[in-house]
Amino acid sequence: MAREKPPCLPSLLLPLLTLLLPQADTRSFVVDRDNDRFLLDGVPFRYVSGSLHYFRVPRVLWADRLFKMRLSGLNAVQFYVPWNYHEPQPGVYNFNGSRDLIAFLNEAAIADLLVILRPGPYICAEWEMGGLPSWLLRNPKIHLRSSDPDFLAAVDSWFKVLLPKIYPWLYHNGGNIISIQVENEYGSYKACDFSYMRHLAGLFRALLGDKILLFTTDGPQGLKCGSLQGLYTTIDFGPADNMTKIFTLLRKYEPHGPLVNSEYYTGWLDYWGQNHSTRSILSVTKGLENMLKLGASVNMYMFHGGTNFGYWNGADEKGRFLPITTSYDYDAPISEAGDPTPKFFALRNVISKFQKVPLGPLPPPSSKMMLGPLTLHLDGDLLDFLDFLCPHGPIRSILPMTFEAVKQDHGFMLYRTYLTQTIFEPTPFWVPNNGVHDRAYVMVDGVFQGVLERNMRHKLLLTGKLGAKLDILLENMGRLSFGSNSSDFKGVLEPPILGQTILTQWMMFPLKIDNFVKWWFPLQLPKTSRPQFPSGPTFYSTTFPILGLVGDTFLYLPGWTKGQVWINGFNLGRYWTKQGPQQTLYVPRPLLFSSGILNIIILLELEKVPPQPEVQFLDKPILNSSIHKTYIDSPEPMVLSGH
């Protein structure tokens, strides 16, 4: 009989390793309704989480921000997935670079953070159109966030791409996603369409299975329409609100299980033209400690706010149109530039009373840089560059068309027509039914006449000769992201009127400014004679080297009015120095070139240039201009905007 071969070492170790390693099928995150708590792998568990949005932070800085969150004592990170960030056109998906969702999940795992995922489809988040893609509005009759078959078809198509990507990252599959939110504060929306919510819940279950915990989040007034049987109900409120009263209300919808505040507000958002918002350290820490004493699980919104780069800010409508600022600092525990604030250390101290906080020193604040002032040089009016900005030429129509109708999602579009008669006396020019969405810069034969603005400025007085060229540069300032919005179309929504004449025969030029900026160097820019202090939409630029150490910095534009800024081809976002409260734009260090390589800064000033066309780079932000008072905690509960 042949001798048996002795088993090899790997085969002996394999069963042992199998016993020692946590297995995917033994991993679980469930609600223990008998004891009003969560169980993680069968052990009582409470999360203390913070919100961070990967789409508001450059990818190279994700690890830094997550590491600091973990060092604060947090054991989870909560974040949204903006549909419009990943599906820019129907059926065209982007998960590369700063949109690499899987890479962000991996960074969270490396930082030892569990994940609470909020994939929408609607997210609010003060983000353009609440995360819904604007191409949905190419169907002008669509009913968003409802069981409208056209909307559901688009949602189903998106989630059949997204949810299989995250399936391996569910906790019971060995990943770090412990729970997933369905929709977002749906009770604050007018539709109250339970068929829609049931459809979403069924879709999530079909694509993700029965083991993952699905939940809803609503403000106190939204629980009636936002909660759904089979989904765990959570609530959101801030430090100024009555915790006992709100958690008592929550118990009417979720009698058993852990109390959860999914959005505990550490600060608040800013609108252009209103006050800079802050929340006191004492009120935020006191509220957190009171919730943790009750055994509640809490997510702090925001823990690090980040920036609305490019055109990605959203807007609210509260009696008038209120666009969100470029900075999303939020007075959060980690500043817009990624630095721990005094609020961070105070919250860390509270958390340490309830669970273990990682040992070790925090990284120091990032190095900051000052530079300038730098003088910018006039490159020309926007109209001079029209062939470059719209290389395919205009779209012609008897009546003006919306951004959505011509497939222009963001930014700017130029409307052009010609006067059919001479206008000798100053004559009212206006767009009926508040039809400017959102801001119109009006020119006659290239001469700037003034601004029309949604809800605010409705009329200009014009003169002009027969055949004079009438141009309207239309700025989309961000689609409504919360509450009553159904379809926030952009552009000139009604035919403009001059005196008694309805103006027709329009040309629409969808402007591709971001593409143009990337090719700025090779172009032979047209030069013509200019007035000493130009007004109206105008390009300025300069180049500058950085000879010393490069650091994070804040671009300050004293005396400039309103516009858009690009550095080295990257769209930093909107400035509105005249309106405030934000006066500086955050410039992350990775955007800048070192070692004397030339950096280029380009401004599109939309209204009026200062006598000295200069900018500076500061080592501190200015988020609360002196013309606006800072909004501080009051004893009254805040009116929730929703997220």
Residues tagged active-site: 185, 263
Q: How far apart are CA 32 and CA 232, in angstroms?
A: 12
8 Å CB contact between 81 and 119: yes
- 3-state helix, strand, coil split of the chain in percent (to 5) is 25, 30, 45
Edge-to-edge strand ranges of the sheet holding 563-567: 377-381, 538-544, 599-605, 563-567, 570-575
8 Å CB contact between 330 and 269: yes
Strand partners, 575: 563
What does R_g of the chain's alpha carbons equal in angstroms? 27
* Nearest of 173, 56, 193, 196 to residue 121 by alpha carbon: 196
Tokens of 596: 């004397």
Tokens of 283: 């009120």
In angstroms, what CA-CA distances link 391 with 155, 270, 398, 513, 541?
Answer: 33, 36, 22, 11, 22
Q: Which residue has the tokens 């508040």?
A: 434
Beta pairing class for 48-52 and 297-304: parallel
Strand partners, 567: 570, 601
Q: What's the number of CA atoms in the CB half-sphere (13 Å) around residue 475? A: 21
8 Å CB contact between 233 and 253: yes
| Residue 67: partners with Cβ closer than 8 Å, 6 or more residues away | 111, 363
What phi, psi does 235 have (nearest 5°)?
-135, 165
Edge-to-edge strand ranges of the sheet holding 43-45: 29-32, 37-40, 43-45
DSSP classification of residue 454: T
Residues in the chain: 643
Write out the H or E segment, with its range, that includes residue 195.
Answer: helix 194-208
Q: How far apart are CA 237 and CA 207, in angstroms?
A: 31
Q: How far apart are CA 501 and CA 421, in angstroms?
A: 10
Tokens of 405: 């109708």
Determine the residue type at 25.
D
Q: How far apart are CA 76 and CA 86, in angstroms?
A: 24
Tokens of 198: 């049931």
Q: Which residue has the tokens 């020019």?
A: 429
Q: How far apart are CA 140 and CA 449, in angstroms?
A: 32
DSSP classification of residue 271: B
Sign of the CA dihedral with 352 first, then 357, 359, and 363 last = negative
Q: Which residue has the tokens 């961000």?
A: 478
Q: How far apart are CA 495 and CA 103, in angstroms?
A: 47
Determine the residue type at 419.
L
Does the bond joining 438 to the residue before it have cis omega, within 30 degrees of 0? yes
